[in-house]
A = this chain, B = another copy of it.
Amino acid sequence: MSAQQQSQSAKKPQTAITPTRAEDFPAWYQAVIRAADMAENSPVRGCMIIKPYGFAIWEHIQDILGGMIKDVGVENAYFPLLIPLSFIAKEAEHIDGFATECAVVTHHRLEKGPDGGLIPASPLSEPFVIRPTSETIIGEALSNWVRSYRDLPMKLNQWCNVMRWEMRPRMFLRTSEFLWQEGHNCFETAEDGNEDARKMLDVYATFLEDALAIPVIRGEKTPEERFPGAIATYTVEAMMQDGKALQAGTSHDLGQTFSRSANIRFQGRDGGEHLAWTTSWGMSTRTIGGLIMVHADDDGLIMPPKIAPYHVSIIPVVKADNEDRVVAYAKALEQDLKAAGFRVKCDVRDDRPSNKMWESIKKGVPVRVEVGGNEVDQGTVTAVRRDLGRESKQTLDKSAFVAQLGGMLDDMHKALYARAKAFRDERIFDVETLDEMDAFFGDESKFGFVRMDAALLADPKFAELKKKYAVTPRCLPFADNGAKAIIGKSY
């Protein structure tokens, strides 16, 4: 290594992920996913394969968020994947701006073609669309199920795959097929519907903060940013480490728009017939993209403990003369931790300990434990917290470690949340005028959100700046009672 190279490497410490966040944030993002073995692109354009490590995160999200959704009285169900084209057409009559990029099923058989290859056969009399969302098919069902005010509220959720053809896919953030939950609730009064839309947003906010350690801004979308057909769209917005916003969950007060197009009517307490009031709300595998962009660093993923596939990785550091003893000690520790309710990976593969350590780091396992001859002799473990790195390295009695691990994980959750919140709060800039907004987004050294008087959104100059910088009003925060708007770039 030349002196110059040495000096460069002194300036730039080795990182597990190249490029770094500062060098190329989008490329860093893809590299983190690859390094953690979470997912990969598939041979199907725009669709990803979610590998076991990535899918385990989604399973924990389903488990925790799913429980919260049930706790507020919503029941899970399952509706068909395919939507008749006539349902979409009917919706299109009532709602402007519905999506047209969707997968269309036109045949229901394959047969051998003239050249011996397979070709589509048996054309359908009416084509189907693979659900881009299930409003229409669930609306049709609700129109049959809801008869009287006694049937209300009716609250349904489904966890499923949906499809929207994507021209510029990015793993987790924007894929043609993605996984989500979609809730569709139905009420007797306008007030009940609105209250529900706000309540489901609170569920999302609580989930994101308590389970994923992602601080969010709760607010309402401006009319232009609403879901087509909604009378109000509520959103939770999170800031990524490049200063862009991610809409991490939305909840829509649909008023009577969808009950009108789906004909959801009930006999009211007054004996008359009424249109129901509906809401819908969804959270998807995008959230995993947000998780990465909020918490990961230049060494890879950092997993919030509550949804981490593993809380702890145990790495035996063996020598020729102590392999059996060290491995036995590591496995006993694994059993102790599992018995205490932790998710543990004891990495006994035939590989170098340093490789195993880097894998644990890149996968963001919250606590890494190394055990070697010294630990075995002294009945200790050496533990490192992923978010704090080497500086947090400590050697503890084995039993003390098992007893303290829950507290360490709680501390890590709080630290991740506090770090993300401080990062975000430092990057929300209050401006008084549109000129100040122009100056902020025009300055390449600055990034983050702008907060300003919501009245400025009506100024024609705002529309110009919006286009110039490709920014949008992310929301009118509840905290400011609609008086302020948050503006930013977004995913």
Binding site for B on A (CB under 8 A): 42-44, 47-52, 55-56, 58-59, 75-85, 87-89, 92, 100-111, 117-118, 120, 127-130, 137, 140-141, 150, 156, 160-161, 163, 165, 177, 179, 349-350
CB-CB under 8 A from A50, the residues of chain B are 77-78
- How near does chain B come to A469, taking the closest CB pair, in angstroms? 29
Contacts of A105 in B (CB 8 A): 103-106, 130
CA distance A88 to B77 in the complex (A): 31
Given B49, B100, B102, which contacts A77 in the complex, CB threshold below 8 Å? Answer: B49
Return the contact of A82 from the options B47, B89, B100, B107 (Cβ within 8 A). Answer: B47
Q: Residue among A49, A58, A101, A163 with the most chain B CB within 10 A?
A: A49
Task: Kindly list 17 other residue pairs between chains A and B, CB separation below 8 angstroms, not including A44-B80, A89-B118.
Answer: A42-B141, A47-B80, A47-B81, A48-B80, A51-B77, A52-B75, A55-B75, A58-B78, A85-B110, A100-B111, A102-B109, A103-B108, A104-B105, A104-B109, A104-B110, A105-B130, A150-B349
**B179 and A78 form a contact (CB under 8 A):** yes
Q: A88-B118, A128-B103 are in contact. Are A165 and B110 (CB under 8 A)?
A: no
Which of chain B's residues have a CB closer than 8 A to the CB of A110? 85, 88, 100, 102, 104, 129
Number of copies: 2
Interface centre among A43, A55, A83, A177 (most CB of B within 10 A): A43
A272–B137 CA distance with the chains assembled, in angstroms? 54
Q: How distant is A111 from chain B, measured CB to nearest CB, in Å?
A: 7
A109 & B120 in contact (Cβ 8 Å cutoff): no
- Give the Cβ gap from A416 to chain B, nearest Cβ, in Å: 25
Q: Which residues of B contact A48 (CB under 8 A)?
A: 80
Task: Tell me whether A77 and B55 are in contact (CB under 8 A).
Answer: yes
Complex formed: what's the CA distance from A181 to B88 in Å? 30
A72 to chain B, nearest CB (A): 14
Give chain B nearest CB distance to A303 CB in angstroms: 17
A108 to B165, CA, bound (A): 6
> Which residues of the partner chain B approach A43 to less than 8 Å between Cβ atoms?
84, 87, 137, 140
A51 and B77 CA atoms in complex are apart in Å by 5
- A106 to B109, Cβ gap below 8 A? no
Q: Who on chain B is nearest to A76 by CB?
A: B55
User: Are A141's CB and B80's CB within 8 A?
Assistant: no
Question: In the bound complex, how far is the Cα of B143 from the Cα of A22, in angstroms?
Answer: 35
Check A101 against B92 for contact (C-beta < 8 Å).
Answer: no
Task: Knowing A110-B129, A161-B160 are in contact, say whether A42-B104 is a contact too (CB < 8 A).
Answer: no
User: What distance in Å separates the Cβ of A78 from its nearest Cβ neighbour in chain B?
Assistant: 4
Cβ contact of A78, chosen from B49, B81, B140, cutoff 8 A: B49
- Option from B75, B80, B92, B179 in Cβ contact (under 8 Å) with A177: B80
Tell me which of A88, A100, A110 has the highest count of chain B C-beta atoms within 10 A of its own C-beta: A110
Which residue from chain B places its CB closest to the CB of A87 in the assembled complex?
Answer: B43
Chain B residues in 8 Å Cβ range of A111: 100
Contact B52 A156 (CB under 8 A): yes
Closest-by-CB residue of B relative to A117 is: B89
Per the bound structure, the CA–CA distance linking A103 and B120 in Å amounts to 9
A107-B106, A109-B101, A141-B49 are contacts. A81–B120 as well, Cβ < 8 Å?
no
A49 to chain B, nearest CB (A): 5
User: How far does the alpha carbon of A47 sit from the alpha carbon of B58 in the complex, in Å?
Assistant: 27
Is there contact, CB below 8 Å, between B140 and A85?
A: no
Cα distance A80–B137 in the bound complex, in angstroms: 23
B161, A44: Cβ atoms closer than 8 Å: no
B104 touching A107 by the CB < 8 A rule?
Answer: yes
Please measure, in the bound complex, the distance between the C-alpha atom of A50 and the C-alpha atom of B75, giving whole angstroms.
12
A165, B124: Cα distance in complex, Å: 11
Which of A88, A92, A100, A140 has the largest number of chain B CB atoms within 10 A? A100
- Of A52, A84, A177, chain B has the most CB atoms within 10 Å of the CB of A52
- In the bound assembly, the distance between CA atoms of A102 and B108 in angstroms comes to 5
